[in-house]
Chain A
Amino acid sequence: MAVAGLRALLALSAVALLAACGGSPADGEPAPSRLPQVVEVVLDEQGRPEPSLLAERQVLLRGNGEEPQTLDPHLAEGVPAANILRDLFEGLTTTAPDGRIIPGAAIHWDISRDGLTYTFYLDPAGRWSNGDPVTAADFVWSWQRVVDPSTGAAYARMLAPVVNAEAILSAERPPEDLGVTALNDTTFQVQLSSPTPYFLGLLTHPTTFPVHQASLETYGSAHVRPGNLVSNGAFVLDDWQVRSRIDVVRNPHFRLVDEVLIEQVTFFPFEDENTEFNRFRAGDLHWTYQVPSNQFRWLEQNMAEALHVSPWFGTYFFSFNLTREPFRDSVELRQALNLAIDREILTQRVTRFGEIPTFTLVPPGLPDYQPPEPEHAEWTQAEREARARELYARAGFSDSNPLVVELRYNTSENHRKIAVAVAAMWKQTLGVQTRLVNEEFRVFLQNRAQRRVTQVFRSGWIGDYQDAFTFLELFHSEHGRNDAGYNNPRFDRLLDQIASERIPSRRRNLMVEAERMLLADQVILPVFTYVTKRLVDPRLQGWQENVMDQHLSRHMFLVRERTVDVAPAETADDQENPTEDETES
């Protein structure tokens, strides 16, 4: 260490000189790709890897976005926290590497014929990390805690389909009235107020995870500190250094502990994607949370085997404020603006990460829902633009009387680039004069919600559960995030019908009808389907892309590097060192 430090000091003058000349080492030859070469993985008949292939240290180092706000599964929000919580806790159901819903704490379940009663049979081997059995009563207590308004659970509405949940959330009934019962120690029954086909999918969300009642009562809000946190998942919290690292280690009491190969996962928070990228290149991470958006070409050329870009369950769109001029009464104008933008150019030249152009709200990829593409999805861009000009003129605008509009977005390099491109397209095709308004995130959210100053604004949504309804419900006239101010009684009625429809095919048709209505009213201007983009070290196996972007460390393992010619092996050694420093402390 000391030697390394000294060397660095000596070489410092060299850097100062380089910097002085304005040349950056990055500009010249790209640094060699140092991805390790790995052995070929052979799985035995149970789908487990040959032990001889496994790396000696099963310590997974994972970049994980921003520091989680909390590790209380009921209070947590955001993807980074959910990633950690899915390793620490286990819901009634859980996800396979490909995103399929598989049994979790409940090994099987019955659904009544009316779809309203779910009976879950818990795994009798289920244990908390302190050895206590996981019981049906734990789930009853935990779910009551979620809907109790005094808990302040951000995602409490996930349990809205359960009988009385809404009334409890609005403090009209006590939490004990929630439609959940422990029939015996291992049988947990849930009564739903309407059939909810996506209910099993909701159970993979941290809000529905059980928490350990006794430790909550002992430690209060400090129950999530390392040493206090008792969890029922494959891993248990070992150490938490705020904004530095969160270590979880294999839970010896986990019901399937014999199947878990990873011994420890360290989650590193990053505030900056370039920093994370550098750490990956230096060999400090097996898996990044994102990749710098301006590095796509370099990555494709140099780290193609590590780069994983896959469709995500989310849509990037712009919304129109329908409560104010100029968009309130002019569907033609909204349609014109929608048709005038070229999504191919936006995704291929501006965002450039393989985002998928879209004309619909609900992203593709749902097993039993096909978003209704509007007619213009099939047109050429020239046809769309011709139609856009026609509609623009019909809405009463022309070159001498152009539309002057504000396009609002929150501070981010990507949002800015997209907004600039959209404004240029509107200008070129229609002659619209766009003023770009950039706001800090919370100011932006407040302005959106108040609907006073907004005209066109950036929106985006990542589905919370695997069902089209997670997107459609946003536009209910009373939804808290209906910032467009869409207020269509027919649409609201459709949503209510969907919520109570029991026959899956009819429910699906109603959802298609609702989405079609929303698109025909041009409440939004869909742009593209989000993709997840990340770097995964080839040594990390058992990792698969999936549309819900849920990846449980318990399915993964690290394999050995192939011993090849001298040069690459040397670099591989170099990058092993910092990794070990990382995990030993």
Chain B
Amino acid sequence: MLNYSLKRLASAIPTLFLLITFAFFLIRIAPGGPFDGERALPPDIEANLAAKYHLDEPLPMQYLRYLWQIVRLDFGPSFHYLDWTVNDLIAQGAPVSFTLGGLALLLALAIGIPIGAWAALRQNRPGDYAVMSIAMVGISIPNFVVAPLLILLFAISLGWLPAGGWEFSPSRMVLPVITLALPMIAYIARITRGSMIEVLRSSFIRTARAKGLPEKEILFNHALKPALLPVISYLGPAAAGILTGSVVVERIFTIPGIGSYFVQGALNRDYTLVMGVVILYGILIILFNYLVDLIYAWLDPRIRYDDQEAGA
């Protein structure tokens, strides 16, 4: 197990390095620079700014300088938000995005899995069709439609909840968390249903039934665990995505998370900020894929990562 973990960790480093390299050069290809604006800067000031941020050096030199910074976990100053470093911005935005994304994830799991399992038990009956149709609608309606609808209903017409803005208070989290969770609930419900149907047909369930185990035990102990495997594979990348924030939800609810930095950073040519969020996202993806593999082993007794070692 330890051996496997170390191997995974070792393979993460070249992956991250490639990611950093690609991202670094790709964003520099975009025309225009961070200090271009509608008002032209006097040439000497522009030269000074370029020197201050080392933009006057050859690109390979800047790249090496950046790598050296990253090694020391210094993401550099933001080129757009002049009073803050990228570390500051991520430190302020990440807790917000993590809280929202984490809650949305929990909500999605808590609702999606039971719904999916329930539908699987009623396969091809009216209940199943009803739940799966609603799930399909949930997947198809984009969150930039759902979010304004929720605001109109709960904030403006009913006045129960704030229309947006952020602080760590439940009333401000309800609408964005629901908006983020809705499509995930639908996905998880559909995946759970599909795999649950498959598992229920398999021979070990038949055996369990033949043994005369109570239906409850069959469902919870024998069927649900393996049925969750596809959900877990979906959750790896989905969790990384949802924890790094959603551009749309942040914009509509004015939430200061890090999701908008992907877009704003790119539009502002804020090179360091874009790099910062890309690296964070990359690390999360690698981390969650690793966690998914571990959970697999726990859920499915047939998967063991130290087999080779044991066999050797």
Contact = CB atoms under 8 A, between A and B. Distances in A.
A445 B39 CA distance: 10
B290 interface: no
B81 A12 contact: no
A500 interface: no
A564 interface: no
Contacts, number: 206
A244 B256 contact: yes
Given A19-B146, A221-B83, A445-B38, A582 B157 contact: no
Interface stretch (B147-155, B207-215, B298-306): B147-155
A155 B41 CA distance: 8
A15 B256 contact: no
Nearest to B88: A242
A440 B252 contact: no
A157 B42 contact: yes
Given A25-B149, A243-B260, A442-B36, A282 B42 contact: no
B81 A244 contact: no
A481 B39 contact: yes
Interface stretch (A67-75, A486-494, A513-521): A67-75
Given A15-B153, A269-B254, A581-B167, A284 B38 contact: no
A445 B33 CA distance: 10
Interface in A183-208: none
Given A8-B175, A274-B148, A149 B44 contact: yes
Given A8-B178, A269-B254, A70 B83 contact: yes
A69 B80 contact: yes
B84 interface: yes
Which of B47, B153, B166 has the largest number of chain A CB atoms within 10 A? Answer: B153
Which of B37, B82, B148, B172 has the largest number of chain A CB atoms within 10 A? Answer: B82
A278 B155 contact: yes
Interface string A268-281: 11111011001101
A571 B155 CA distance: 12
A446 interface: yes
B83 A225 contact: yes
Nearest to A272: B251
B161 interface: yes
Contacts of A367: none
A61 to B, nearest CB: 10
Interface in B138-163: 138, 141, 145-146, 148-163
A244 B160 contact: no
B216 interface: no
B165 A244 contact: yes
Interface in B231-258: 251-256
Contacts of A20: 134, 137, 141
Contact of B254 (A170, A268, A480): A268
14 contacts: A16-B137, A24-B152, A31-B152, A70-B81, A150-B48, A152-B52, A169-B45, A170-B44, A244-B166, A275-B254, A440-B267, A443-B31, A443-B32, A578-B155
Interface of B: 30-33, 36-45, 47-49, 52, 80-84, 88-89, 92-93, 134, 137-138, 141, 145-146, 148-167, 169-172, 174-175, 178, 182, 251-256, 260, 264, 267, 269
Top 3 closest A-B pairs, CB basis?
A480-B40, A442-B32, A282-B163
